[in-house]
Amino acid sequence: MIDRYTLPEMGALWTELHKKRMWFEVELAALWAKGQHGDAPKKVYVLTRGIQITESVLARADEIEEITDQDMIAFVLAVTELLDELAKRYYHTGLTSYDIEDTALALVLRDCLKLLLQKLEHLKQVLLKKAYEHRKTLEIGRSHGIHAEPITFGFKLLGWADVIDRHIARLKLALKEISVGKFSGATGVYLLDPQIEVLACRYLKLKPAKISTQIISRDLLVQYTSALAGTANSLDRFATEIRHLAGTDVSEVAEYKRPGNKASSAMPGKSKLKNPIKSENTCGLARVARGYLIPAFECEVVWGERTLENSSAERIYLPDLTILLDFMLKRFADTIEKLEVFPEQMKQNVWRT
């Protein structure tokens, strides 16, 4: 995702350095499990744990990848250059690339969902506070864009908070479902004892996949993507309503504008009218978020026990969608928190009909 829409905490979870550190964390889990199971000396885990994955390790892996043309092999070789001969014998043995990649991805997505859930909970509280503040602020309800029966502005916001509450439940379910690891090897039939998978996943606080092929089934990523895109879709709905209420002919709300804000390069007078650009931005980003449903669904389809067409798409849509929703949640919460509401204008609109 471009820097404009990347917040630091979420962006840090999708850096190449963090990804490779998670790969190493999964390798450490496997070594620990092998030690506990008696398949490797316990000191191998202790010795390997002392290695730090730095930018220089990544640079070395990039050099090796120029020869191997495979990023996991290159990373494994870069790490094993730092190990003694005993540890080299056990590092990554019995595992396939996606034992590491899919399990590490689960760790990243788990942390992403925790951040998103924090922001959703904050948005819910912002909506509830604003709803309580305007629980008696009379507003006309609209049906087909036509005046219908009176409501209150607080009632409208309370409905939005209810939607967000359901999205919190959906993301919590996605968090539970996505927290799955695998150490089942090529085609999923276990070169290592399956108990090592159980122990390694326990180390990482993940569930072992009940059944995996050479990869973890992508229906889990479909669920993850659907939960995030669905949340973005609801933000689009709310922001669209703010845009309607902020229009000159309705004038019931206005987005907060900092002093010095300029609304138009051609019409300086528009600075006083407060274009609802934050809400428009939210609507535009939701269009992108919904677009990522297509690659997510298509990446579930693989040939046999695995093919690689999912890899390229997932490198793009998973970080982009996650970073986008993180940004959208912060922006929309700020919009609601600072939203200017005009009760007298709302009352005048009621009495128009």
Which residues are the active-site residues?
144, 264
| Residue found under tokens 């990554």 | 92
User: Environment class of residue 145 by beta-carbon count within 10 Å: exposed (0-12), middle (13-18) or buried (19+)?
Assistant: exposed
Neighbours of 30 (CB within 10 A): 29
Type of residue numbered 203: Y
CB 323 within 8 A of CB 6: yes
| Residue found under tokens 């479909």 | 222
What is the DSSP secondary-structure string of 167-209? HHHHHHHHHHHH-EE----GGGS-SS-HHHHHHHHHHHT-EEP
Type of residue numbered 175: L
**Spatial separation of the C-alpha atoms in residues 94 and 183, rounded to whole Å:** 9
CB 109 within 8 A of CB 178: yes
CA distances from residue 94 to 12, 23, 195 in whole angstroms, order as listed: 31, 15, 13
Q: Give start and end residues of each alpha helix (H) in the chain.
A: 8-12, 16-37, 42-49, 55-68, 71-80, 85-88, 97-133, 153-178, 194-204, 219-246, 277-291, 293-298, 309-337, 343-352
CB 124 within 8 A of CB 168: yes
Neighbours of 91 (CB within 10 A): 21
What is the DSSP secondary-structure string of 289-313? HHHTHHHHHHTT--STT--SHHHHH
For the CA atoms of the chain, what is the radius of gyration? 25
